[in-house]
Structure 1
Amino acid sequence: MSVPENKQQLLTAMNKNWDTLQKKLSHVPADQVFIAQLDGHASGTQMSVANLVSYLIGWGEQVLYWHRQECAGQDIIFPASGYKWNELGKLAQKYYADYATLTSWPALLEKHAQTHQKLVELVESYSDEALYGIAWYNSWTRGRMIQFNTVSPYKNAATRLNAILKK
């Protein structure tokens, strides 16, 4: 699928990649979800499937937080407070830690589903013009920033899961 250029394409891409990811997650054996066996987001690290889901939740919640900051009239801190764009590996580690207390696989998946639903609702709340008609962060539109942190990571995560599912 090409890069979304409007609201409907963004929603379609979000849901298509979400569905693909959910199918793959459903095939990961439950006894393997907390074992670090995937390449991590920081060079030289390993992560578990639970860490991967935590990463996706973290980015989803970060996007939602950007919009809460905006609605409150605050300056939006990109990518996150205390992190620069060249420190995304460290930010990934933070996201793993943020959800490490969710030691129930079903609870972690439910949190992921809730975050995805909030992101869909966020996109639905904006017009095409608000999503793609004007720059929102530097030269990037709001829709593109949402796509960078939903559609792309969902697809990347589904691909990463192939390493476990082929064993």
Structure 2
Amino acid sequence: MTTFNKIMMALAVSVLSMSAQAQVTVSDAWVRATVAQQKATGAFMQIKSAKDARLLEVRSPVAGIAEVHKMEMVDNVMKMRAVDGMDLPAGKVVELKPGAYHVMLMDLKGQLKDGDVVPITLVVEGKDKKREIIEIKATAKPLNQAAQH
């Protein structure tokens, strides 16, 4: 085997091992578009993990603060609060959606207009304490279209 073939084989093996480590997939990512001067919005998506894991952190360059939030009814009042993470049970789709768990983007650095692509980073940790960084692109949708999603 030539040196070139050995290098190509090593590259192929490393690419395959990297894709084999990808335990978490994200689909249908979107954010609610904003109006001028609005400083916060929500991001929504579906997350599926092959193994039990936990979403530990979110961040985005469009926001000064990004957090996982949970909305729930408490004493007949809908309340929203930041949570320190969110469990991702193996093989189950976890939906982040309006009125439930979602990503809150606060201290926005500018208006998010319909069609804008918003980069979001998710940090997920498995039971083995290994962390996975997932980079996603969420499309901004206007309020009326987002409600139909």
Q: Name the structure with the higher strand share.
A: 2
Tell me, yes or no, whether TM beats 0.5.
no
Q: Which has the higher contact order (CA 8 A, sep 6+)?
A: 1
With the shorter chain as reference, the TM-score category is: under 0.3
Q: Name the structure with the higher helix share.
A: 1
When normalised by structure 1's length, the TM-score is 0.23
In our comparison, the structure showing a higher alpha carbon Rg is 2
